Amino acid sequence: MRKIIRKAISLFLASAMVFALVGCGGSGEENSAQVSDHIVNVGVTDSLGGVNPFVMDQTNINKYAAGLQFLPLIELDSELNFQPMLADSITTEDNIHFTVHLDENANWSDGTPVTAQDVEFTFLKLASPVIANSTMMLYRFEGVGDEDYPFVAEGATSVAGVTVMDEKTIQFTTKEPIALTTFQSAYASYLLTLPKHILEQYSDEELMTLDWFNHPDVVSGPYMLTDYDVNHYISYTANTNYWKGAPKIEKLNIKIVDSSQVYAGLKSGEIDVALPSMTAIPQDDYENIEALENVNVVYGSPVTNQSVFIQTENVTDARIRQALLYAIDREQILNQLMKDHGEIVDGFLSSAGPFYDESITPISYDPQKAKELLDEAGWDGSTTLRFYVNSGDGTFVKAAQVMMAQWAEVGIKVELQTVDLATLMTTAGTKEYDLMAVQYTYVPLDPYPDVAWLLSGAGSWTGYYNDEVNTALEATQTAASVEEIKALYSIVDKKMQEDVPMFSAYIISGQGAVSKRLTGVNVDVYGFFNNVHEWEIIK
């Protein structure tokens, strides 16, 4: 489940806090909410799941909390190009063998070179049946189990799908062809390489709970974690030995706040940066933030999908799922709650990506059609559907309430459950929901991993599987042209209109902001931390 479990989702958002922003954080200067000439505060509304890369899921905040310390191989930038991080090149000649060359200058903060052996070590631990982290979907590589058991043999010190070629070169081998962009976006940008020379002394059981991850002293990235609270803050100090250049900002905090606190934090200067992908700013605050004289406002590309997943194993009749879509006025929600900062689509893909099919007309609001479908399905109104929503996204909580009222008008009773992101992700692993809303970023260059997982049948968030859809998705991995790939994703999105295992409430062009006291900060959906070491406070 990447992008929300891996990415993503972006996404994707914290439970309301009962204290003022100025009271956030622990003791020490690094947790101060006061404006400082050596501290930058990034405000997010996602709740942190954890900082141990071996056992955490891959939601955005978790990825970046760890990724600031342990670089991925590559990362997307704001122009949707892959930017080198630890790796300076990734190539393939057959879409099965992928050769990764690490930057010759890449070093750990203790001066030890980052090597291919570090990458192999990290892969094996992620695929360990003891650590049992299934979110990376490593079963696609030779020597790793299958979708039901995506692990290597316990205690494995090597695997057929990963070959160290030399100190700086490693080759990955997949069981079947996959697109280079899939390897890059689904694996290379999520494999946070860890230091073998530090961690190899510990057993897999010890690595799962190792205190070292709470304050690591050897990192490859620009910052080192000093303290964190999963609901309040993550604090870092600069890695002065960062091989790309010492960060210009001494201390960095990620402040986890309620969405209602973002405007006040930006106004006071207690929040320096708000990100379109991880900061759910209430639409009611957009104009107020635009009026602030101390920040520059940006709107991110429309890539974050406010997806609503229907657990088809619970809501089995496609006509009922269609009725849920016909019964809501998405254009009204976009206009009134999102101030038209976004778009309406059917399916997964937004207009920001190269595979978007503009000929697919979104299903329009038609409550009479919804009632007819319910009658055909024999719906008697006695069932109450359970709808789980992120409590930290105040805007979508309001949207969900509008949707519930519109569903009630056609005879569908829905019970709203607002929970924080961590609880939502726990619920997602069960079937204890009928509908679930998540902000999910399907990477425009390669939506395949997420879409394929979400439509993979039992065990996925939708429980939905269709042979035609699966065939089209698999064909995207070997298609020769953009137009061919676009046609294949059109099959998928049209099938979403027909069977409705999910629908897009709207696509978000989220608001972001950055303090005018900072330079070098690129606030967008992708790439905002890529060059964080170059951020600078204007003196």
Whole-angstrom distance, CA of residue 495 vs CA of residue 497: 5
pLDDT tens sequence across 11-24 = 322 222 222 222 33
pLDDT per position as a tens digit, 173-190: 999 998 898 899 889 999
Look at the block and give the residue holding tokens 């269609």.
322
Rounded to the nearest angstrom, the gap between the alpha carbon of residue 39 and the centroid of all alpha carbons in its chain is: 26
pLDDT at 74 over 50: yes
Domain containing residue 139: CATH number: 3.90.76.10
Give the total number of structural domains in the chain.
3
- Position 39 scores a pLDDT of 94
The pLDDT, as a whole number, for residue 57 is 78
The last residue of one of the domains, among 199, 232, 256, is 199
207: left (phi over 0), alpha (psi -120 to 50) or beta: alpha
pLDDT at 31: 43
In order of 206, 213, 235, 527, 535, the CA distances from 246 in angstroms are 32, 21, 17, 19, 11
Query: Can you tell me the mean pLDDT for 72-100?
Result: 94
Percent of the chain with pLDDT over 70: 93
Chain CA centroid to CA 226, Å: 24
Calculate mean pLDDT across residues 33-51. Answer: 83
Calculate the average pLDDT of the chain: 90
- Is residue 292 predicted with pLDDT exceeding 90? yes
186 and 141 together in one domain: yes
> pLDDT of 138-167, one tens digit each?
999 999 999 889 999 999 999 999 999 999
Q: Please check whether residues 314 and 264 belong to one and the same domain.
A: no
Domain assignment present for 420: yes
Return the amino acid letter for 339.
Answer: K
Parallel, antiparallel, or unpaired: how do β-strands 384-390 and 413-419 relate? parallel
Q: What percent of the chain has pLDDT over 90?
A: 75
Final residue before a domain boundary, out of 199, 229, 248: 199
Q: DSSP assignment of 139-189, as one string? A: GGBTTS-BTTB----TT-S-BTTEEEEETTEEEEEBSS---HHHIIIIIIT
Tens-digit pLDDT profile for residues 113-128 = 999 999 999 999 999 9
Dump pLDDT digits (tens) for 483-508: 999 999 999 999 999 999 999 999 98
More confident call, 17 vs 333: 333
State the residue range of the domain holding 105: 74-199
Residue 201's pLDDT is 97
pTM equals 0.74
pLDDT digits (tens, 9 = 90+) for 230-258: 999 999 999 999 999 999 999 999 999 99
pLDDT over 50 (residue 103)? yes
CATH number of the domain encompassing residue 290: 3.40.190.10
